[in-house]
Amino acid sequence: MPDLRAPLDRVRAVLDEAGYTVDGVRGLLGPVAGGALARDEIVPALRATGGGSPLEALTRLFWLQVPLDAAEPSAHVLPVDALVKAGLAEVSGGEVRALLHVEPLEVPGVPRSPGVPASGGGDGHVGYVVSDLKVRPGSGGVVPSDHVVGAGGASGNLAQLVIHKAVDNILDLGTGCGVQAVHLAARNPAARITATDVNPRALELSAMSLALSGVDGVELLEGSLLEPVQRRRFDLIVSNPPFVVAPPGEDGRRFTYRESGLPGDDFCRRLVTEAPALLNDGGHLQMLANWLHVEGVPWDERVGAWAEESACETWVVQRDVQDPAEYAELWLRDSCEAGTPEYRARYEAWLDHFERWKVTGIGFGWITLRRSAADRPAVRVEEIRHAVEQPVGAYADHVLDGLAVAERFSTACGKSVLRTSPGIVQEQIGEPGAEDPERIVLRQSGRLRRAAGVGTVEAALAGVCDGTLPLAPLLDAIAQLTGMDPDQVRAHAFTVLPELIADGFFEMP
Ligand SMILES: C[S@@+](CC[C@H](N)C(=O)[O-])C[C@H]1O[C@@H](n2cnc3c(N)ncnc32)[C@H](O)[C@@H]1O
């Protein structure tokens, strides 16, 4: 690959100066054109970007992916020669056309990358991501198997999940366009980051993303799964893996950006069970995954078995489930196969594949593992479909801490000191004017936004646990105040507290 550093540096300066950021483009388009674009309607966006400023020209070329007339002033506000030298655009037939997709990357709450100047954008602007155009020039309208996908919803999900803790050694497995590596470099400027991918084209484009974002020193390695980093140790491994469970394509062809070629959900299982060996003590693996719901086997037991094998503290959250037909349609649309003459045969191939595996549904979710020395690391596999507070990474470690404390909690914990977690509110439901409520609910106003129906004892504890007095005297005082039997109050509290701690209503200071 030619040395693209100098032209990419020049392009970066232009992107920064033009304010080509998520905020900048949003502001330029405004809500109407932005809304239309979300519905795949480009006309209002073209009208909003006709003024000929560098931001308008960049937005047209790279965001809307429409060619610029090389004779028009709008093309001259950009350093077309540098765009061409960097491999980002070409000039042909009197037009400047994008060859690659260049998008600004924003991760709210993350400090800007060392290379991104203050003029380069709003809060959370961390750099730029280079990926393939959906329809690559010269590909005949077909998505090539080495297609490199841009930063999508799943990339954002993973970026939000990543723990907010400074770490030294990071692995981004299946880096693709480099979106996670760019984000992680901004979050951990001093860390040593390694990014791997099986697709050499992905490594080329991630190198361009890193250069355009002003990030130096990320090690890029080609290879499958953990093979390129076998003898290394990491504090954090992140992966938005090729999790799509698809039937083999014609001649074994597959879309590398989303399919691993391993049977079923084996790629995700192997990551969960094999990556922990590469984690330092206390190190995390955080990934997105798909898992199969197989007839006769509860999904949480299947995924729970992966967690048990990992021997790590584990938190798995199922965020969505699709039936086989919904899933096949989604991914056939994604690879532009909908509407083609082969569509019906391909759709049937997906359904046959799922029937053969006795698949009733496909779950999507997040997995967080933390390597621990505990004999019996806590494992929680659960479904949360409602909106939770973002970013989850700000409190993912608290969730794991809560699971670990709950696992150790026993009747011998009378001397323990607990604290009601921040953001807990109490709701009382009952007849107006009634002396006692019919129902008391503790509700988390933030984090996972859970709610728990509780009794008088737990409600009273939530009112007094401030992290200063041990549980035993607090429970005795509650018994005295309510006129209940002290032994019964203690027995009840020790029965219900582990679940309330695991759910994050109480924590150990
Ligand atoms: C869904 S993309 C993720 C891209 C990017 N990390 C993100 O968060 O958007 C999955 C990536 O995994 C890579 N991949 C596919 N098979 C792989 C394998 N066996 N080992 C490592 N990476 C693989 C693909 O080339 C692709 O870049």
Question: Model confidence over 218-262: pLDDT tens digits?
Answer: 999 999 999 999 999 999 999 999 999 999 877 777 899 999 999
Sign of the alpha-carbon dihedral angle for 327, 333, 334, 337: positive
Ligand 1 geometric centre to CA of 176 (Å) = 5
**Ordered alpha helix ranges (H), 357-470:** 396-408, 456-464
Question: Model confidence over 276-323: pLDDT tens digits?
Answer: 999 999 999 999 999 999 999 999 999 999 999 999 999 999 999 999
In a domain, 352, yes or no: no
Query: Which of 175, 196, 331 maximizes ligand 1 atoms within 8 Å of its Cβ, making it the mutation to test the pocket?
Result: 175
Ligand 1 geometric centre to CA of 450 (Å) = 33
336 pLDDT band (50/70/90 cuts)? Answer: confident
Cβ atoms within 10 A of the Cβ of 384, count? 15
Ligand 1 geometric centre to CA of 77 (Å) = 36
Q: Could you list the residue range(s) of the whole structural domain that residue 485 is in? A: 409-507
| Model pTM score | 0.94
Question: Model confidence over 372-387: pLDDT tens digits?
Answer: 998 899 999 999 999 9
Question: Model confidence over 392-447: pLDDT tens digits?
Answer: 999 999 999 999 999 988 766 778 899 999 999 999 999 888 878 889 999 999 99
- CA-202 nearest atom, ligand 1: 27
pLDDT of the residue at 146: 93
Question: Model confidence over 9-46: pLDDT tens digits?
Answer: 999 999 999 999 999 999 999 999 999 999 999 999 99
Ligand 1 geometric centre to CA of 156 (Å) = 15
pLDDT of the residue at 49: 96
Q: What is the separation of C-alpha 222 from the centre of its chain, rounded to a whole number of angstroms?
A: 23
In a domain, 10, yes or no: yes
Cα torsion for 13, 16, 17, 20, to the nearest 10°?
Answer: 130
Specify the pairing of strand 219-222 against strand 379-383: unpaired
More confident residue, 247 or 140: 247
In a domain, 460, yes or no: yes
249 backbone dihedrals φ, ψ, rounded to 5°: -80, 180
Question: Model confidence over 491-507: pLDDT tens digits?
Answer: 999 999 999 999 999 99
Name the residue at shortest CA distance from atom 26 of ligand 1: 257
Sheet with strand 506-507: strands edge to edge: 466-470, 417-420, 506-507
CA distance 146 to 133: 12
Write down which residue in 70, 98, 126 finishes a domain: 98
pLDDT of the residue at 1: 57
> C-alpha distances in angstroms, 425 versus 241, 348, 388?
38, 51, 16
Name the residue at shortest CA distance from atom 6 of ligand 1: 175
pLDDT of the residue at 114: 55
- CA-225 nearest atom, ligand 1: 20
Ligand 1 geometric centre to CA of 256 (Å) = 7
Ligand 1 geometric centre to CA of 479 (Å) = 57
CA distance 442 to 428: 9
pLDDT of the residue at 415: 84
- Tokens encoding 74: 């709008």
Q: What is the residue-averaged pLDDT of the chain?
A: 93
- Tokens encoding 482: 């309510």
Ligand 1 geometric centre to CA of 435 (Å) = 60
- CA-260 nearest atom, ligand 1: 16
Cβ atoms within 10 A of the Cβ of 214, count? 24
pLDDT of the residue at 134: 79
Q: Supply the DSSP string of 187-205, one letter for each residue.
A: H-TTSEEEEEES-HHHHHH
CA distance 425 to 132: 47
Ligand 1 geometric centre to CA of 317 (Å) = 21
**Number of structural domains in the chain:** 2
In a domain, 346, yes or no: no
Write down which residue in 98, 115, 143 finishes a domain: 98
Amino acid letter, residue 184: L
In a domain, 357, yes or no: no
In a domain, 198, yes or no: no
Query: Which of 196, 198, 268, 274 maximizes ligand 1 atoms within 8 Å of its Cβ, making it the mutation to test the pocket?
Result: 198
CA distance 478 to 89: 72
State yes or no: cis peptide before 391, omega within 30 of 0: yes
Query: Which of 132, 158, 255, 257 maximizes ligand 1 atoms within 8 Å of its Cβ, making it the mutation to test the pocket?
Result: 257
Name the residue at shortest CA distance from atom 24 of ligand 1: 257
CA distance 447 to 273: 28
pLDDT of the residue at 115: 55
In a domain, 173, yes or no: no
More confident residue, 409 or 475: 475
Q: What is the separation of C-alpha 6 from the centre of its chain, rounded to a whole number of angstroms?
A: 32
Name the residue at shortest CA distance from atom 9 of ligand 1: 155
324 pLDDT band (50/70/90 cuts)? Answer: very high
Query: Which of 199, 209, 230, 364 maximizes ligand 1 atoms within 8 Å of its Cβ, making it the mutation to test the pocket?
Result: 199
pLDDT of the residue at 118: 52
pLDDT of the residue at 425: 97
Q: Ligand 1: residues within 6 Å at CB?
A: 149, 151, 155, 158, 173-176, 179-180, 196-199, 202, 224-225, 240-242, 256-258, 260
Coil vs helix vs strand at 169: strand
Angle between helices 179-187 and 153-161 (to 10 degrees): 30
Q: Which residues, 6+ apart, have CB-to-CB distance to 10 below 8 Å?
A: 79, 82, 86
Judged against a pLDDT cut of 60, whether residue 113 lies above it is answered with no
Name the residue at shortest CA distance from atom 7 of ligand 1: 155
Specify the pairing of strand 466-470 against strand 417-420: antiparallel
Q: Which residues, 6+ apart, have CB-to-CB distance to 46 below 8 Å?
A: 60, 64, 66
- Tokens encoding 261: 């070629």
CA distance 397 to 367: 12
How much of the chain, in percent, has pLDDT values that exceed 70? 95
Write down which residue in 80, 98, 116 finishes a domain: 98
Ligand 1 geometric centre to CA of 202 (Å) = 8
Contact criterion met (CB below 8 Å) for 386 and 333: no
Q: Supply the DSSP string of 304-351, one letter for each residue.
A: HHHHHHHTSEEEEEEEEEE-HHHHHHHHHHHTT-TTSTTHHHHHHHHH
In a domain, 15, yes or no: yes
Q: Counting Cβ atoms within 10 Å, is residue 352 exposed (0-12), middle (13-18) or buried (19+)?
A: exposed
